[in-house]
Amino acid sequence: MHYNVEPLRTSQEIDDFLWAVSQARYGERNRMIVLVGINTGLRMSDILKLTVGQVRGKERVMIIEQKTGKKRWLFLKNLKAELLHFTQYRAPSEPLFCSGRGGALTVNGVYRIFQTASDFLERDDIGTHTLRKTFGYHYYQQTHDIASLMMIFNHSSEQVTKRYIGIERDNMEQQLWDFRLGV
């Protein structure tokens, strides 16, 4: 199976996706998952491990990434108001993102939500890594600091990071846009 997961490259694509995930039964929860993902660059497994008490009223929190076992600061200042509203009236020990059955939402559950939204948008390039790639893509576009992004993602090289966020593809397409021979 080949996964063609891409970042959301424009503000319009982000807005469209936020709208699409909001149309489902748990729209507010789904929208908050997307906002946390595109503003932190966390893997979905780490997003779903967060609890209400870890994030409510916080501007930053230290987490340990599930995949790497490494510590990482999670900066939530820009989401503080939204998270405060989303978590009001909830116990600190609750998972930040609950399933319809009450426990923590799973990565597969989020994947299904995203597939429904991507079908609605007639896209076949959205998956759970889309949020992480979107964060990386826009972080790089705003800062051009690939070394810091590489550290945030815990990647082994700048080349891996550029490929992961789709910058190499964008650069190649731009260079080939007007290239033609014999036509």
Judge whether 49 counts as a catalytic residue: no
Q: Give the other-Cβ count within 10 Å of 147's Cβ.
A: 9
**Measured CA angle at 139 (ends 132, 85), to 5 deg:** 65
Q: Looking at 129, 133, 138, 162, which residue is catalytic?
A: 129
What is the C-alpha separation between 182 and 80, in angstroms, rounded?
Answer: 57
- Token duo for residue 1: 């199976």
Q: Give the other-Cβ count within 10 Å of 44's Cβ.
A: 26
Q: Looking at 2, 67, 71, 180, which residue is catalytic?
A: 67
Q: Give the other-Cβ count within 10 Å of 30's Cβ.
A: 23
Judge whether 155 counts as a catalytic residue: yes
What is the C-alpha separation between 60 and 172, in angstroms, rounded?
Answer: 37
Q: Looking at 29, 31, 133, 155, which residue is catalytic?
A: 155
Judge whether 129 counts as a catalytic residue: yes
Q: Looking at 49, 132, 133, 138, which residue is catalytic?
A: 132
From 4, 9, 38, select the one nearest 21 (Cα to Cα). Answer: 38
Judge whether 138 counts as a catalytic residue: no
Q: Looking at 29, 43, 123, 162, which residue is catalytic?
A: 43
**Measured CA angle at 35 (ends 8, 71), to 5 deg:** 100
- Point out the residues that are catalytic: 43, 67, 129, 132, 155, 164
